[in-house]
A and B are shown apart, each in its own frame.
Chain A
Amino acid sequence: MITIVDYGMGNLGSVLNMLNKIGVKATISSSHDEILNAGKLILPGVGAFDAAMTRIQDAGLGVILEKRAMGDRIPILGICLGMQILTRGSEEGKLPGFGWIPAQAKRFPVQPDLKVPHMGWNIVYPSNASRLTENCEKEARFYFVHSYAVFVDKAENSILKTEYGIEFDSAIQCDNIYGVQFHPEKSHRFGMQVLKNFASL
């Protein structure tokens, strides 16, 4: 059973819709008990970094997620802002992230002709093999919406890269912790493959 963690930030319905479509059992929940009993967790998120961390802490979820991630070591997938909070922090905010993956989110550098946010469909390139990206097509494309991009400290934690004026890490992994910058739930069959892979971990 996958639990989609509801901490009040973002588009949870569409993640559930896609999991339903591919026949994966999932629920949306903010209940401590359900999160403590989940087989896997998805952390979605749209919005500002500090707002996300604050809401997680206010809901008493920080300690619980820490236990699931680092104690029980269950698979956790962060999507978009949900990926950025897996890192140690973002230039967007002052609060620390969970720091489960050695990486940081930085603002896209200002460049002529490149609008920020990076919004639309872009191509990903594999940087390291991962079960999350198994059977993904060559030059798979995904839907992105973000103003801050994640950069890993160590190349081994990058699994996909994308270019938008600068090359950034569009999917990252450290052991049982996975993050994708794009929205798999909004990326047709390309996204379905990623969620299927996560569901079968």
Chain B
Amino acid sequence: MRAPRSLRARIALAAVGAVAICGLLAGGLLLAAVERDGRNQLDGDLRARADSILRRPPDRDAYGHGGRGEMLLQGSGTFAQVAYGNEVVAREGDVPDAAPSVPESDGFETVEIGGTPWRSLTFTVAAAGNPRLQVLSSLAPVEERVGRIRRLVLLLGFSAILLTALAAWGFTTVAVRPLARLRAGAARVSGAQDLSTPLPDDGPEEVAQLAGALNEMLARLGASTAATERALEATRRFAADAGHELRTPLTAMRANLDTLARNPGLLADQREALVADMTAEQDRMVHLLEGLQALARGEAAESLPREPVELGDVLDAAVHGARKRHPGVRYELAGNVEEGRVDGWEDGLRLIADNLLDNAALHGRAAGGSVTVGLARDDGRLVMRVEDDGPGIPAAERERLLEPFARGRDARPDGTGLGLAIVAQQAALHGGDLRLGDSPGGGLAVEVRLPASAEEDPA
């Protein structure tokens, strides 16, 4: 049999079952005890009767009709009989029609006479001829009493079961009401697709705990949904921005190409200017592509193994490269370049240095700018600092510049808008951060603070 689906029905059924089993056990024990008591009492009576019979010596005359035995036994549902050998010589009392012969063995037993049970006590009298006396008493009164009690027990039992069923049903109806409220709340949540409305957490402790757990789950779901949406939104914006950034050089290139194609008679210097512009546009697209790939690699770098990298060496190599790329800019290493290692990816650290140095060249003083590069130690961190002597960036605009494709008001056309985003990404991947500030010369100072490797002992 399958359990019913309703919780109410299950609880009611369980309660009824428990009450039924208890009633059955208790009733059975009670009836057995009552029957045993009745029988024991009957056995005592039988013995007392036998004793009173035996107070007079057993003799044939004494058991004649109208004698003492008759007086003693008449109307008590009891009879006695005496036998010598197999011959029953006397039979007195409420003798049933089909009286049995006196049994061979002594002691108590229960016999069936004419379909009704009788209790019998047989013993051998210590007298001449060894007469055997059997006293019998009907078990009917005991049976009747047991029957009465059995009926009572059954009646009580069924009433108890009925009451239990009603009480359990009523009680569970009340008890599951908070569950129904919880269900209605959950339906509202899924219906409105609204993860922010909590479920009602009143009601009994168990339901309140369930509601609490569900609310916690909803909150977590809501948070992760929001995070996913933010990430999706960021990706969408990034794709749109990247598209816009590519579209601009493509538009200019196409215009220049068409100009070349449609004007075969262009002067040499006009033609050269067009080609130079197109080369610059192509450069810009290549830079943009490299920046995009650097960002994509940065995302993937998290899974690469880290190794201790000497940051001073990285900076040294980067300055060397930057001097070649930007011959018009003077790069100076500040006096005290710290020795210090960072646990990380050398390529990523090089990206930080390269982008900071390029940024300083692009956005520093337009001609003959000077860039100061330093590496210092501060409270277990290595601080890479790059300062330019350009116009600087207003404090209000700095935060925005960390976003991909965000470019300053007077952005140079050869900037990709990705430099600081790449630096910020790599700094974060290395457990560090990026700060924009003012340089002593009024230009921009960029600081990248990276946690120093734990292996080395601070000098």
Asked if A pairs with B, the answer is: no
